Structure 1
Amino acid sequence: MLPDKETTRLSKLLSLVLRHDPAHLGLTLDEQGWVGVEELLRQAQAHKINLTHEMLLHIVDTSPKQRFRLSDDQQRIRASQGHSVVVELGYAPAVPPAVLYHGTTARHQAQIMREGLQKMSRQQVHLSADHATARQVGSRHGAPVVLRIDAARMHAEGHAFYRADNGVWLTEEVPARYLQLPDDAAAA
């Protein structure tokens, strides 16, 4: 339906307005991060952005990371996680897998191992359930490093975890004591 380049461009725009800067298109998210689909389309058109209902459905349906979610009645849309604006996504606490992963770059590895993982400008730290996804995330900004998180111990010691609609695991922080270097980095 849409060329890959246009899908990527519009997906990045949706990430911007649904996660970080809804005012970019004159939108206001509700407390749970939702905005009306018709309002989103109307505001996109007002800003000379060609975004139709069919295009929006295509982006939601084909997003490999399932970044966006439509409400059950298909009338509202929100980002699944990754917000820097304050929203309450309403995810219930969940028991995580024993091990979770975080993809980063080699240049950040030493600092993370000293200070742990912090949410920085986001509302929560994002973790992956599998090594491959974390590696892909880490490779976006340089040589990837995948850190192992002892999620079972964290959870047993009182840290809360949440699972987003798209399978990303969320927590407030990961103190350094729960992090392990990958086997190849530990040997170096």
Structure 2
Amino acid sequence: MIRKCTEHGYFRGGSCLQCKRPGRYLLDDSKEEKLGRFVSGTLRHFPASAGVEMDMFGWVNLNAFYDVMKKRYNWMKKEYLYALVESDEKGRYEIRNSKIRARYGHSVNIDLDYKESDYPYLYYGASPEEVDVLLENGIFPVKQRYVHLSTSYEKALEVALIHTENPIILQIDAFKAQEDGISLKLATDDIVLTEKIPPEYLFIIED
């Protein structure tokens, strides 16, 4: 459920986290899920199939994107698009200069133009079955355009637990990797994107 607080903006849930007021009702859970799936799929995976053009940096014209959504969902309002983006706790999307894009998670071939990360170390969670392969061959994207690294051990553990019960957390020597010419792009406060991490920058964090 998405609502809007007059003082603190859009939020998800029954009440504003800051002032505890219920705010103005916008979207129920069902409509939020439908719009969220379409936004994610279009901005990350199939813009052409959805009928929108995406530039080399992942941007889509906001008005064109809204028009496509309006044709698909006759109850759609442009405010709903802003509400989805601004209330997203993971910061998955951004709107800038009448354009919209996903911050990460792409399978389409784009070049995200984020600034370089200044974290000296980054983290990546792996299952026990794959960790030896990663230490030998490095980390490469499989189904996505970029490898997604975490800016903290805790976030890497949280992500890894979605896929495995016994994650092993790898530490990346980001400072050394960047010195050697590997680009590490800061997508959000939690996520850094890269095209590859060779094995010489990987170390297991022992319990």
Give the TM-score band, short-chain normalised.
0.7 to 0.9
SS at match of 1:141: coil
Task: Tell me by how many angstroms 1:104 deviates.
Answer: 3.3
Contact between 1:27 and 1:40, CA under 8 Å: does it hold in 2? yes
**Corresponding residue number in structure 2 for 1:82:** 105
Q: Give me the whole-angstrom Cα distance separating, in 2, the residues matched to 1:114 and 1:49.
A: 52
In our comparison, the structure showing a higher alpha carbon Rg is: 2
Structure 1: how far apart are the matches of 2:52 and 2:42? 8
Give a deviation string over 1:22-65, Cα, whole Å, max 9, x none: 13322221222111222112212323475422221121112122
Equivalent position of 2:60 in the other structure: 35
Q: Secondary structure at the match of 1:159?
A: coil
- Residue aligning to 1:114: 136
1:133 matched to which residue of 2? 155
Equivalent residue for 2:175? Answer: 152
Whole-Å Cα distance in 1 between the matches of residues 129 and 74 of structure 2? 37
Q: Does structure 2 retain, via aligned residues, the 8 Å contact 1:162–1:171?
A: yes
AA aligned opposite 1:33:
G
The separation in 2 between residues aligned to 1:115 and 1:12, in whole angstroms, is 34
Once residues 135 and 75 of structure 2 are traced to their aligned partners in structure 1, the CA distance between those partners, rounded to angstroms, is: 44
Overall identity of the aligned pairs, in %:
29
- Could you tell which deviates more after superposition, 1-10 or 138-147? 1-10
Aligned pair in 2 of structure 1 residues 29, 161: CA closer, same or farther (>3 Å)?
Answer: same
The answer to whether structure 1 residue 142 and structure 2 residue 169 are counterparts is no
Q: Mark the runs of 5 or more structure 2 residues left unpaired by the alignment.
A: 3-26
Q: Aligned with 1:148: secondary structure?
A: strand
Q: Which has the higher strand share?
A: 2
**1:156 shift after superposition:** 2.4
Higher helix share: 1
Per mean C-alpha deviation after superposition, the further-off stretch among 5-14 and 122-131 is 5-14
Q: Which residue of 2 aligns with 1:22?
A: 47
Cα distance, 1:101 vs structure 2: 0.7
Say whether residues 1:102 and 2:124 are aligned partners.
yes
Give the structure-1-normalised TM-score.
0.83
Query: Which of 27, 34, 37 is residue 12 of structure 1 equivalent to?
Result: 37
User: Structure 2 length normalisation: TM-score?
Assistant: 0.76
Contact 2:155 2:190 in 1 (8 A): no
Provide the C-alpha distance between the structure 2 equivalents of 1:65 and 1:27, rounded to a whole number of angstroms.
24
Cα offsets for 1:112-146 (capped at 9, x unmatched) = 22221002232222111111221222122232332
Point out which structure has higher relative CO (alpha carbons under 8 A, 6+ apart): 1
| Partner secondary structure for residue 32 of structure 1 | coil
Answer yes or no: is the 8 Å Cα contact 2:42–2:50 preserved in 1. Answer: yes
Structure 1: gaps (5+ residues): none
Residue 67 of structure 2 aligns to a residue whose secondary structure is: helix
Post-superposition Cα deviations, 1:50-94, rounded to whole Å, max 9, x if no partner, equal 5422221121112122110101x3x210111232212232224x2
